[in-house]
Amino acid sequence: MKQIVIIGAGRIGGALAAASPLLCTLVTRDHGWEAMLEPAGDPLLVCVRNDDLEAVVARVPAMRRADLVFVQNGMLDGWLAAHDLADSTRGLLYFAVSRRGGPIEPGAISPFTGPHATALADWLISLDVAAEPVDRMHFAASMLEKLIWNAGFGLLCERHGVTAGEVLGHHAEDLERVVAELNAVGRAALGVHLEDAALLARLRAFTARIPETRAGLKEWSWRGGWFVAAAREYGLAMPAHARLLAGLTRPPTG
Please check whether residue 104 is in contact with residue 82, taking contact to mean a CB–CB distance below 8 angstroms.
no
pLDDT band of residue 235 (cuts 50, 70, 90) is very high
Residues 6+ apart with CB under 8 A from 170: 160, 162
The alpha carbons of the chain give a radius of gyration, in whole angstroms, of 18
pTM equals 0.92
- Please give the Cα distance from 39 to 221 (Å, whole number): 35
Residue range 47-67: average pLDDT? Answer: 96
Beta-bridge mates of residue 90:
70, 113
Q: What is the pLDDT of residue 102?
A: 86
Domain limits of the chain? Answer: 3-134, 137-246
CA distances in angstroms from 57 to 54, 90, 194, listed in the order given: 6, 15, 32
Q: Which fold has domain 137-246?
A: N-(1-d-carboxylethyl)-l-norvaline Dehydrogenase; domain 2 (1.10.1040)
Predicted confidence (pLDDT) at residue 253 exceeds the cutoff of 80: no
Q: What is the pLDDT of residue 172?
A: 96
Dihedral of alpha carbons 181, 184, 236, 224, sign = positive
Summarised one tens digit per residue, pLDDT across range 122-153 is 999 999 999 999 999 999 999 999 999 999 99
Predicted confidence (pLDDT) at residue 189 exceeds the cutoff of 90: yes
Q: What is the pLDDT of residue 181?
A: 98
pLDDT band of residue 38 (cuts 50, 70, 90) is confident
Summarised one tens digit per residue, pLDDT across range 103-126 is 888 888 999 999 999 999 999 999
Phi-psi region of 152 (alpha: psi -120 to 50; beta: other; left: phi over 0): alpha
Q: What is the pLDDT of residue 108?
A: 86
Q: Which fold has domain 3-134?
A: Rossmann fold (3.40.50)
Counted residue by residue, the chain has a size of 254
Summarised one tens digit per residue, pLDDT across range 5-25 is 999 999 999 999 999 988 899
Alpha helix stretches (DSSP H) within the chain: 11-19, 53-59, 77-82, 117-126, 136-160, 164-170, 172-190, 196-209, 224-233, 239-246
Q: What is the pLDDT of residue 66?
A: 96
